[in-house]
Amino acid sequence: MIITEQAMESQEMKAARSYVKEVYESVISRNPGETEFHQAVKEIVDSLVPVFAKHPQYMHRGILESIVEPERMITFRVPWVDDEGKVRVNRGFRVQFNSAIGPYKGGLRFHPSVNGGIIKFLGFEQIFKNSLTGQPIGGGKGGSDFDPKGKSDAEVMRFTQSFMTELCKYIGPDEDVPAGDIGVGAREIGYMFGQYKRIRGGHEAGVLTGKGIVYGGSLARTEATGYGTVYFVDEMLKSKGLSFEGSTVVVSGSGNVSIYAIEKAIRMGAHVVACSDSNGYVYDKNGINLATLKRLKEIERKRISEYVLEHPHAEYHEGCSGIWTIPCDIALPCATQNEIDEASAKILVENGVKAVGEGANMPSTLEAIDVFLAAGVLFGPAKAANAGGVAVSALEMAQNSMRYSWTFEEVDAKLQNIMSTIYRNSVKAAEEYGHPGNLVVGANIAGFLRVADAMMAQGIV
């Protein structure tokens, strides 16, 4: 019997689909209740079906069942004493997910919602994101359910010192290199670096990234994630003859990623009309005043509602999801996971959104992504669009190793180059594997292949 090429292909696709389904079902049963982790795995495995069909050797070697299992998951107690003298106990986490292409690398998140499933979703995504940057960094993530809001500087210092007293046993410039994420910025990194140095001795600058410039930080790391997201979206826009110039932009959040996405979008000629925090959002039809925003959030650590006290023509609305009802050309979700659900995605599409760039990690639900892709919206998935932060972290590690620092312009030029390479590689992988224009599939595949090849080369470890 002659088997046609098409029938052959569909048989291979069938085998790949059933392999992926089996691994996904085992992830659900082995990690009960970790819904965000399940969601992150689902997005990846669905994208990888054509890869396993084309390269069955990855299936035979069990790459997928290996990659969904962290190499190591560390959980620890973080006791500290608050300003009233009361003992508080938080939980600390570090997931060392995959070291096939380099030392574990990924941020630390301090937020009351942090649990093992959240850290695993973030660490899992980080494997593919870090691979996409083209740099030698593996995937890791960590954090704590500590809530920095409303805490004094002294309390934050005592907590971070206690956190690092335990974490320092597991990290190092060639082993695992943490950085910031939600609730962890320059202040927290500074205290953690000080404690690490005190315990371990020596000045191992490359153990953390996002450090202050005066003690080994990289210029442009603060700006990198937000700028990188805008550079990535600009690449998507250019492919359709569009640009930021004159466009209306909505950016959720008002933290590190949001502030610098807003700054770069404004510099590219956009009109950024809204931003938010976890209490509500501000709509300023004249354009968000960046100087006010930076002062309120970076210096005074105040709520976004205070913006309207200084700009009374602007509107403040309680609640987060309302921000997506504001008509815009470009939406940049830069706050947190699952902030755009199916209903919000539909409203954005009805209002004519042309591009969505994910500055946050997994800000769109799987259903929301389907809405954007079906409507032909240019969609920049998180792993690709927000990879600029970790990419510049890797440049910070490189500078620390060289005991040398590049200028802001040099780092920014490297960042732009990395973002356009990620864009091109994602476009190419999407085309090669039968999903032209789908950057979710393209980024997942391009990120996966490098890690899978490294795992194949290194044997069953």
Catalytic residues, by residue number, are 141
Q: Which is nearer to ligand 2IT, 60 or 72 (CB)?
A: 72
Q: Which is nearer to ligand 2IT, 58 or 448 (CB)?
A: 448
Work out the burial of residue 300: count CB atoms within 10 Å of its CB; fewer than 13 is exposed, 13-18 middle, 19 or more buried.
Answer: exposed
Q: Degrees (nearest 5) of the Cα angle 329, 331, 334?
A: 160
Question: Could you identify the residue written with the tokens 């560390």?
Answer: 74
| Helix (H) / strand (E) containing 64 | helix 63-67
Min dist. Cβ of residue 113 to ligand NDP (A): 6
Alpha helix segments (H runs only) across 168-316: 186-200, 221-238, 256-267, 290-294, 307-310
Residue among 6, 100, 7 nearest 61 (CA): 100
Q: Which of 103, 389, 442, 447 binds ligand 2IT (CB under 6 A)?
A: 389
DSSP state of 110: E
With binding defined as CB under 6 A, does residue 334 bind ligand NDP? yes
| Helix (H) / strand (E) containing 94 | strand 87-98
> Quick one: what does residue 209 bind among ligand 2IT, ligand NDP, none, with the CB cut-off 5 to 8 Å set by partner type?
ligand 2IT
Question: Contact, 418 vs 410, CB < 8 A?
Answer: no
Binding mask 88-107 for ligand 2IT (x = CB under 6 A): -----------------xxx
> Quick one: what does residue 277 bind among ligand 2IT, ligand NDP, none, with the CB cut-off 5 to 8 Å set by partner type?
ligand NDP
- What is residue 360's three-state secondary structure? coil
Label residue 253 left, alpha or beta by phi (over 0 means left) and psi (-120 to 50 means alpha).
left
With binding defined as CB under 6 A, does residue 135 bind ligand 2IT? no
Q: Which of 138, 140, 142, 183 binds ligand NDP (CB under 6 A)?
A: 183
| H helix count then E strand count, the chain | 17, 12
Bridge partners for 280 per DSSP: 318
Exposure on the CB side of residue 378, measured as CA atoms within 13 A: 22
Q: Degrees (nearest 5) of the Cα angle 431, 437, 438?
A: 95
With binding defined as CB under 6 A, does residue 364 bind ligand NDP? no
> Quick one: what does residue 399 bind among ligand 2IT, ligand NDP, none, with the CB cut-off 5 to 8 Å set by partner type?
none
Question: Contact, 381 vs 366, CB < 8 A?
Answer: no
Q: Which stretch binds ligand NDP (CB under 6 A): 41-49, 51-59, 254-262, 430-438?
A: 254-262
Q: Which of 138, 140, 190, 255 binds ligand NDP (CB under 6 A)?
A: 255
Rounded CA separation 119/231 (Å):
27
Subset of 161-220 contacting ligand 2IT (CB under 6 A)? 179, 181, 209
Min dist. Cβ of residue 140 to ligand 2IT (A): 8
Subset of 34-93 contacting ligand 2IT (CB under 6 A)? none
Q: Going by C-beta distance under 8 Å and a sequence separation of 6 or more, which residues neighbour residue 375?
A: 349
> Quick one: what does residue 206 bind among ligand NDP, ligand 2IT, none, with the CB cut-off 5 to 8 Å set by partner type?
none
Alpha carbon separation from 422 to 270, 429, 444, 459 (Å, rounded): 23, 11, 11, 28
Q: Which is nearer to ligand NDP, 133 or 258 (CB)?
A: 258
Rounded CA separation 12/416 (Å):
38
Q: Which stretch binds ligand 2IT (CB under 6 A): 73-81, 161-169, 227-235, 385-393?
A: 385-393
Q: Which is nearer to ligand 2IT, 181 or 277 (CB)?
A: 181
| Helix (H) / strand (E) containing 127 | helix 116-132
Q: Which is nearer to ligand NDP, 103 or 106 (CB)?
A: 106
Min dist. Cβ of residue 184 to ligand 2IT (A): 8
Subset of 268-307 contacting ligand NDP (CB under 6 A)? 277-279
With binding defined as CB under 6 A, does residue 438 bind ligand 2IT? no
With binding defined as CB under 6 A, does residue 225 bind ligand NDP? yes
Q: Which stretch binds ligand NDP (CB under 6 A): 1-9, 211-219, 248-256, 407-415?
A: 248-256
Min dist. Cβ of residue 252 to ligand 2IT (A): 16
| Helix (H) / strand (E) containing 441 | helix 439-458
Rounded CA separation 69/97 (Å):
7
Min dist. Cβ of residue 37 to ligand 2IT (A): 15
Q: Which stretch binds ligand NDP (CB under 6 A): 52-60, 341-349, 359-367, 415-423?
A: 359-367
Rounded CA separation 451/447 (Å):
7
Q: Which is nearer to ligand 2IT, 50 or 255 (CB)?
A: 255
Q: Which residues of this chain interact with ligand 2IT, rule CB under 6 A? A: 105-107, 129, 179, 181, 209, 361, 389-390, 393
Q: Which residues of this chain interact with ligand NDP, rule CB under 6 A? A: 180-183, 185, 225, 253-258, 277-279, 320, 334-336, 359-361, 386, 389
